[in-house]
Copies of this chain bind each other. A is one copy, B any other.
Amino acid sequence: MNAYPVVLGVDIGGTYTKLGYVNREGKVLVHTSLPTEAQKPAEKFFTRLVGEAESLRASLPQASVLVGIGIGAPNANYYRGTIEQPPNLSWKYVDVVQTLRQWYAIPIALTNDANAAALGEMLFGTAQGMKHFIEITLGTGLGSGIVVNGDLLYGHDGFAGELGHTVVDPEGRMCGCGKKGCLEQYVSATGIKRTTEELLCSWTAPSLLRSIPIHQLTSKDVFEAACRGDELAKEVFERTGKYLGIKLADAIAHTSPEAIILFGGVAEAGVLLFEPTRRWMEAYLFPVFRNKVQLLPSKLPSGTAAILGAAALIWKELEKQQ
């Protein structure tokens, strides 16, 4: 029996790191996670990661050959193979590829988590067969990966596709990045919470959300209230869709994609988010783009999407070499 080729996909997060083995068809065969413990030196983390990866590989149901390692991480630089000034890890600058070279002599590549999601979508999800699309990841923040001519757009220094930090309002909400008015402060779990706080303060109408202490309020509470017909909660989604739709119209004017794909917890709000987003997007599109660009939900499995995306980075590169 021939050894079965697999890729190790790794998603480094602020608290946990997920890892798993993925086959060419995009199936996550086995997966696990470990605490990132980002307050300790990066070297220690990678030693633990390799230990976990090797014991996980031993659990694969059939003989496999590891053909590459793909990694998704915050502020990852694809060109340099580094993580640089990650917002939620205490490591300042880590040469990830070089570090893993101590153990592995196979292809190793890394990119940021939203780019990894875009690749996963292109190889195994909604964007199969597409050459030009934008992946928007909606979680605590807003990430994005832009695909042009079938390849991720990295730009001059490897950091292209930071739509979460485009400007909704130059005098608007403070962002963790130090600027004011960034899109991710309006469209994300955080953004939904802030918009709700704003409406609770400026509206006088009753709302189910008024009984929840502000510091406990989550975007899920807002979603559930909206599903129950709460007007204030529905207005939160209307405004979220307006902020997102207008900025997506801008994004389309830049790169003219055939589709925009929404991924992540917030995107699971479904029609509550998609309907106003599509309506505002169309209203602010330059006429030549109208009724052409699809707004679609992701088809990646929510639990293992990050592992799948990271692994797609390697499968994509191996595909190009053929």
Q: Is A279 an interface residue (CB 8 A)?
A: no
Give the secondary structure class of A's interface: loop
User: Which of A156, A161, A165, A166 gathers the greatest number of chain B CB atoms within 10 Å?
Assistant: A156
Q: Is A301 an interface residue (CB 8 A)?
A: no
Query: Is A160 a contact partner of B250 (Cβ separation < 8 A)?
Result: no
> In the complex, which of the residues B167, B250, B255 contacts A155, with contact meaning CB atoms closer than 8 Å?
B255
Query: Is B249 a contact partner of A160 (Cβ separation < 8 A)?
Result: no
**Given A167-B246, A246-B170, A250-B166 in contact, is the A257-B155 Cβ separation under 8 Å?**
yes
Q: Is A91 an interface residue (CB 8 A)?
A: no
Q: Is A37 an interface residue (CB 8 A)?
A: no
Query: Is A153 a contact partner of B255 (Cβ separation < 8 A)?
Result: yes
Q: Is A85 an interface residue (CB 8 A)?
A: yes
Stretch with Cβ within 8 A of B (4 or more), from A23-31, A54-62, A266-274, A283-291: A283-291
A161 and B256 CA atoms in complex are apart in Å by 8
User: Which of A132, A158, A162, A253 gathers the greatest number of chain B CB atoms within 10 Å?
Assistant: A253
Which A residues, 305 to 319, have Cβ-Cβ distances below 8 Å to chain B?
none
Chain B residues whose CB sits within 8 angstroms of the CB of A129 once the complex forms: none
Query: Is B132 a contact partner of A156 (Cβ separation < 8 A)?
Result: yes
A210 and B255 CA atoms in complex are apart in Å by 42
Query: Is A148 a contact partner of B157 (Cβ separation < 8 A)?
Result: no
Q: Mark A286-299, 1 if CB is under 8 A from B, else 0.
A: 11110010000000
**Copies of this chain, how many?**
2
Q: Least Cβ distance of A304 to chain B in Å? A: 28
Q: Is A258 an interface residue (CB 8 A)?
A: yes
Query: Is B286 a contact partner of A162 (Cβ separation < 8 A)?
Result: yes
Which A residues, 134 to 184, have Cβ-Cβ distances below 8 Å to chain B?
146, 148, 153-163, 165-167, 170, 177-179
Q: Mark A243-263, 1 if CB is under 8 A from B, else 0.
A: 000100111011111100000
**Given A254-B251, A257-B155 in contact, is the A287-B177 Cβ separation under 8 Å?**
yes
Chain B residues whose CB sits within 8 angstroms of the CB of A85 once the complex forms: 287-288
Q: Is A230 an interface residue (CB 8 A)?
A: no
Chain B residues whose CB sits within 8 angstroms of the CB of A131 once the complex forms: 156
Q: Least Cβ distance of A81 to chain B in Å? A: 16
Q: Least Cβ distance of A164 to chain B in Å? A: 8
**Given A153-B148, A167-B249 in contact, is the A159-B287 Cβ separation under 8 Å?**
no
Query: Is A253 a contact partner of B154 (Cβ separation < 8 A)?
Result: no
Chain B residues whose CB sits within 8 angstroms of the CB of A221 once the complex forms: none
Chain B residues whose CB sits within 8 angstroms of the CB of A253 once the complex forms: 161-163, 165-166
> In the complex, which of the residues B162, B166, B289 contacts A288, with contact meaning CB atoms closer than 8 Å?
B162
Chain B residues whose CB sits within 8 angstroms of the CB of A246 once the complex forms: 167, 170
A254 and B152 CA atoms in complex are apart in Å by 12
Query: Is A286 a contact partner of B255 (Cβ separation < 8 A)?
Result: no
Query: Is A254 a contact partner of B256 (Cβ separation < 8 A)?
Result: no
Q: Which residue of B lies closest to A258 (CB)?
A: B156
Some 22 contacts from A to B, beta carbons below 8 A apart, are A84-B288, A85-B287, A131-B156, A132-B155, A153-B255, A155-B255, A155-B256, A156-B256, A159-B286, A161-B256, A162-B286, A163-B254, A166-B250, A166-B253, A167-B246, A167-B284, A170-B242, A177-B286, A250-B250, A254-B254, A254-B255, A255-B255
